[in-house]
Amino acid sequence: MSHSQHWDDETLAVTLGRPPHVPGAPVNYPIGVSTTFVAGDAAHSYIRSGTVGTEALELVLGAIEHGMTTVFSAGIATVSAVIDLLPANAIVVAPNHAYPGTIGRMRELASVGRIQLREVLISDTDAVIKATGDAHLVWLETPTNPLMEVADIKAIVAAAKKSKALVAVDNTFMSPTRQRPLDLGADISMHSATKSIAGHSDVLMGALSVSDKELDEKLKSRRTMMGSIPGSLECFLALRGLRTLSIRTDRAESNAQFIAEKLATDSRVERVLYVGLSSDPGHVLHHSQADGAGAVVCFIPKCDADKADLICEATQLWTHATSLGGVESTMERRRRWPVEPVDTHESLIRLSVGIENANDLWSDLDQALTKVVGK
């Protein structure tokens, strides 16, 4: 594909990572089920080191991340891989409000002396910069899950470089269609590819993208030694989902903006957290480093936690379930999970807005609010 360097990322997502265009060739790489390969090809000897399917997915995701990608068996496996690069007792700066799996893993490692963990309010740029002085790794999540706090990626990267700290950004909420941490100077862009990358709630996978070839090779080595290679079916499904990421994101984000604006003027709602609203504290900063607001909306209804649960159970179109980024819309009260930060409001509901009709989504949410809270 000699003209690929001139093509838009949306086109690359569809065209890259396919078999050669020769008569009779398949359009997609088939799902490979062999664990070992005939000797003679150094790149393909054993499944743990990767396959054609793994490489196709990494090629496409790397292209739209503007870097090189390594995929893992789960999002949480990427956290372990990055920390595995650090020396013993390394100093790690991370958000105090973050995905529970990430911060939980880091707290566990800190408890046994593997790392020194400094938790910060990620939207307090001065506090983050102060904490990075002698750090080995700065882990950002922006917007945070589920409080939607925004980190100043460029400012934090600039400070971290002075101490030669790695900067990793959990980009799961935004995806490379909306935010590219590598372009903003970060060393690593992380995804739970389970979410919007795969996009159909049928894949468990993680991904790390980098600009530096040596770092890419180190991460691939970590994956091999840790045994966290994704399966062939998962790679096939994730690449299939990645092909339509751009159009799915456009539709889901449009729906999310519509829902957020409806909730923001609803008397039954105490607060809406969504960076797409001009009233959101992180709105200006977020849009200075991203091309859209994404499809996750959080809101706090004017009711207690029990009634917030009932709202989630009263919907017919929205699915009461965890996770996010699928074509279907889901919702849940986040504090139903014991590991959720105590700073998260007991009644906060996180919406992952899908690609259904926006009016249908609002009608269903409205009737659930009416049923539980009233008109």
Q: Tokens at residue 46, please?
A: 């054993």
Q: Is the peptide bond before 143 cis (omega within 30 degrees of 0)?
A: yes
**Nearest Cα to Cα of residue 65 among 204, 177, 153:** 177
Residues 279-332 pLDDT 10s: 999 999 999 999 999 999 999 999 999 999 999 999 999 999 999 999 999 999
**Nearest Cα to Cα of residue 59 among 130, 102, 4:** 4
Max Cα separation, the chain?
A: 70
What are the contacts of 128-133 at 24+ separation with CB within 8 A? 128/93, 128/156, 128/159, 129/155, 129/156, 129/159, 131/93, 132/93, 132/156, 132/159, 132/160, 132/163, 132/165, 133/163
Residue 50's pLDDT band, with cuts at 50, 70 and 90, is: confident
Residue 41's pLDDT band, with cuts at 50, 70 and 90, is: confident
> HSE of 323 in the Cβ direction (CA atoms, 13 Å)?
21
Q: How far apart are CA 101 and CA 22, in angstroms?
A: 45
Q: How far apart are CA 220 and CA 50, in angstroms?
A: 9
* Residue 247 confidence (pLDDT): 98
Q: Return all residues near 208 (Cβ < 8 A) that are at least 6 apart.
A: 69, 70, 72, 78, 81, 82, 168, 188, 189, 190, 191, 219
**Nearest Cα to Cα of residue 165 among 90, 84, 233:** 90
Residues 89-139 pLDDT 10s: 999 999 999 999 999 999 999 999 999 999 999 999 999 999 999 999 999
Predicted structure pTM score: 0.95
Q: How far apart are CA 238 and CA 31, in angstroms?
A: 12
**DSSP readout, 115-166?**
EEEEEE-TT-HHHHHHHTTT-SEEEEESS-TTT-----HHHHHHHHHHTT-E
Q: Return all residues near 331 (Cβ < 8 A) that are at least 6 apart.
A: 312, 315, 318, 319, 320, 321, 349, 350, 351, 352
pLDDT higher than threshold 50 for residue 368: yes
**DSSP readout, 59-90?**
HHHHHHHTSEEEEESSHHHHHHHHHTTSPTTE
**Nearest Cα to Cα of residue 184 among 253, 286, 278:** 286
Residues 219-269 pLDDT 10s: 999 999 999 999 999 999 999 999 999 999 999 999 999 999 999 999 999
**Taking residues 53-79, what's their average pLDDT?**
97
Beta strand pairing call for 90-95 and 115-120:
parallel
- Measure CA of the first residue to CA of the last residue in the chain; give whole Å: 57
Q: What is the dihedral of CA 314, 294, 177, 224, to 10 degrees?
A: -70
* Residue 5 confidence (pLDDT): 63
Q: How far apart are CA 333 and CA 201, in angstroms?
A: 19
For residue 111, count other CB atoms closer than 10 A to its CB: 10
Residue 4's pLDDT band, with cuts at 50, 70 and 90, is: low
**Taking residues 147-176, what's their average pLDDT?**
97
